[in-house]
Chains A and B, each alone.
Chain A
Amino acid sequence: MQDVDVRLTQVTKAYGDVLAVDHIDLEVLPGEFFSLLGPSGCGKTTTLRMIGGFEQPTSGLIELHGEDVTWLPPYQRQVNTVFQNYALFPHLTIYENVAFGLRRKGVKGPEVEARVTEMLNLVELPGYEKRKPTQISGGQAQRVALARALINRPRVLLLDEPLGALDLKLRKQMQVELKRIQKEVGITFIYVTHDQEEAMTMSDRIAVMNKGHYEQLGDPETLYERPTTRFVAGFLGISNLLGGKVVGAADGYALLDLADGTRIRVSAALVAGRSAVSAGVRPEKIRLNEETETVPAGRNLLHGVVTDVAYIGVSTQYIVEVRGGARVMVYEQNLERATKSELWSRGEKVQLSWNPDHTFVVEASPADAPNDDAAE
């Protein structure tokens, strides 16, 4: 009980007929950088707003540090929010914006000044005290919003797409900075974003949300290497999905027959007793070999023809049509092959192979049960 900062139990929010949040269970640990990741409209903001106290759940329970806060107003919760549009008070100076929470809590005199100064140093904005919010840039406003929230030393900080309004370069810079600040102050962050790269680089754990609930929760590596649903596989990068039937088992592997009759091996634990699943593999895990080469035993093996080549510089992306008709995306680092003549070319016959341990398993779908497992 004690080492959970935020706990959601069966939390649901309905707007009329729409279930914005649908029976979510969530536990966020102290000091964790936790992200809610998902496409637009999946309920991220609504979830965050219920934790902050701006919305009441239709049903369910929200606890902060073991205390039920489901019905407490925002100002009685030990959490603070960084709003997407910053929501700085336009009539107050930066100093007064940052000091706002302290003053409401009755902190007085020199302590206010010391803590505001400390915070503005932390977000690298010393000397901006006297300005108004209209007189600073978007990136600076973002930092002020962060300082204004952090100064209250909340147990949990909620951030709703805090970098959404910034351009790409500033965004990258702020990602690093946010992570630094989070480490420095050691506060739990719950971070909402629809940008998978942002979530992956910053988070300790991510809940990937879809239609009001999360489909998978885990650290970034697990989500990327072992997605358990099609949605997660597709949302976090590119994946090749191949539908197949489970026909047997051997040494901890399940044997899977693909539509074209090829047999591949996948972890039996991932199949978990299902009889039809789709096997997935990330493009960079696949190695290409010529038809005549011998592929080491134990690797999953497919045969195909290169149909598309895109040279990116650091790597080359191929689309290979495998025998069953599926189109598989393959990334190859340009280590040995780099010049045009060395790269695979269109129409070349190749063997595709990958380590069975790099295969993940998602639910079967009529869409890729036949042979159209297109690379996404």
Chain B
Amino acid sequence: MAAATTHPTPGEARSAGTRPRGGARGVLGRMADKYLLIVYSALAVIYLLLPVFVIILFSFNNPPGRSNFLWSGFTLKYWLNPLGVAGLGDAVLLSLEIALISTIISTILGTLVAIALERYRFRGRAGVNALVFLPMATPEIIMGASLLTLFVAIGAAPFFPLNFATILIAHVMFNISYVVVTVRARLAGFPRHLEEAAADLYANEWETFRRVTFPLILPGVVAGALLAFSLSIDDFVITNFSAGKTQTFPMFIYAKAKIGIPVQVNVIGTSIFLIAVGAVLVTTLASRRSNKR
């Protein structure tokens, strides 16, 4: 769902077809040019969307047995009863909760860290700078394993036994890095004189942040939050190490994979996809409208 941050502009898509006519090359060359590009683009889009399409299609499948691999007729029964598998509802709810809470915490913390790193020169800044990238650079499996070691070594609540809190801690940890990076990118080009102008117009530090700085870095913050949410909701490796007996949605699917994934998983997956597409559409339209005004 990271795609939510990069909307192609309509101009980009159009310019491909309307390049200037003429030149030394013949009609054939131009046709080839035009159609090759279309065919090529279509193939790329199909490649990207085919798996999604399969998921959507098979959410309407009516398989005779447990495995949902072969098309065997259309039905709406799973859409009408999306949580009709034991444990699925709880797993989805848990994943949503964790994704939401970890997104909120890591967006707030990450934004503050980004501002500190971008705006202030303080002791240990270089160290923090490097550390922020660590969770992104370290392989997930290593992170997961070392977190588990840490939690077990502490051996006391809320870190042990593993539970909701430990999953949350793990997710906040890796999410922060992504938020910091996206918000910093937005802050790096920030016109500082706007803050001086705000101060000049009687806004104190907090008002300046609220009225000028924050609205202007908001796109970066939203992008960071979306990224965090999508990373969190489908994280498997690190979660698996820090979950203990609790089961998130990805863990539920993994567990079921051995005995046949229920169709409801496709229904949930499709729903998430549709919500994401909806969110992208809404933000695109909103930003287009605010640009027009």
Residues of A within 8 A of B (CB): 52-54, 73-75, 79-81, 83, 85, 87-91, 93, 100-101, 104-105, 130, 132, 148-149, 152
A101 & B216 in contact (Cβ 8 Å cutoff): no
Most buried by A among B199, B203, B212, B215: B199
Q: Told that A74-B199, A81-B200 touch, could you supply 6 new A-B pairs with CB distance under 8 A? A: A54-B200, A74-B196, A75-B200, A75-B203, A89-B212, A104-B201
User: How would residues 171 to 206 of chain B score, 1 for a CB under 8 Å from any chain A CB and 0 otherwise?
Assistant: 000000000000000000001011011111111100
Contact for A80 among B193, B201, B203, B212, CB less than 8 A: B201
Given known contacts A73-B204, A75-B204, A130-B293, A87 and B196 CB-to-CB distance under 8 angstroms: yes
Question: Is the Cβ of B202 less than 8 Å from the Cβ of A104?
Answer: yes
Q: Inside 8 A of A73's CB, which chain B residues have their CB?
A: 199, 204
Contact indicator B216/A90 (Cβ below 8 Å): yes
The 7 nearest A-B residue pairs measured at CB: A101-B201, A87-B197, A104-B202, A74-B199, A87-B193, A75-B202, A81-B200
Shortest distance from the beta carbon of B244 to any chain A beta carbon, whole Å = 45
How many chain B residues touch the partner (CB < 8 A)? 18
* A residues near B212, Cβ cutoff 8 Å: 89
Q: Contacts of B197 on A, CB cut-off 8 Å?
A: 81, 83, 87-89
Cβ of A47 to closest chain B Cβ, rounded Å: 16
Residue of B nearest to A106 (CB): B202
Give Cα A101–Cα B215 distance, bound, in whole angstroms. 17
Closest chain B CB from A136 CB (angstroms): 13
8 A Cβ contacts from B198-224 to A: 198-204, 207, 211-212, 215-216
**Chain B residues within an 8 Å CB radius of A130:** 293
**C-alpha gap A275/B198 in the complex (Å):** 55
Number of A-B residue pairs, CB cutoff 8 Å, is: 60
Smallest CB separation, A212 vs chain B (Å): 22
Closest to B218 in A: A91
Residues of B within 8 A of A149 (CB): 200-201
Residues in B whose Cβ lies below 8 Å from that of A89: 194, 197-198, 212
10 contacting pairs across A/B (C-beta < 8 A): A54-B196, A75-B199, A80-B200, A80-B201, A81-B200, A87-B197, A90-B194, A100-B198, A149-B201, A152-B202
CA distance A148 to B199 in the complex (A): 13
Please state if B293 and A132 are interface contacts (CB–CB under 8 Å): yes
Q: Which of these, B191, B193, B207, contacts A104 with CB under 8 Å?
A: B207
Given that A75-B204, A91-B215, A132-B293 are known contacts, is A83 also in contact with B199, CB under 8 Å in the complex?
A: no
Docked complex Cα distance between A148 and B198 (Å): 11
Min Cβ gap A302→B in Å is 52
Say whether A87 contacts B203, CB under 8 Å: no
Q: Which residues in A have their C-beta under 8 angstroms from that of B216? A: 90-91
Residue of B nearest to A154 (CB): B200
Find out whether the CB atom of A87 lies under 8 angstroms from the CB atom of B191.
Answer: yes
Q: Closest residue of chain B to A132, judged by CB? A: B293
Say yes or no: A53 contacts B199, CB within 8 Å: yes
Determine if B215 and A74 form an interchain contact, defined as CB atoms under 8 angstroms apart.
no
Shortest CB distance B212–A (Å): 6
Which of B191, B193, B201, B293 contacts A100, CB < 8 Å? B201
Choose among B194, B204, B207 the residue that contacts A87 (Cβ–Cβ < 8 A): B194
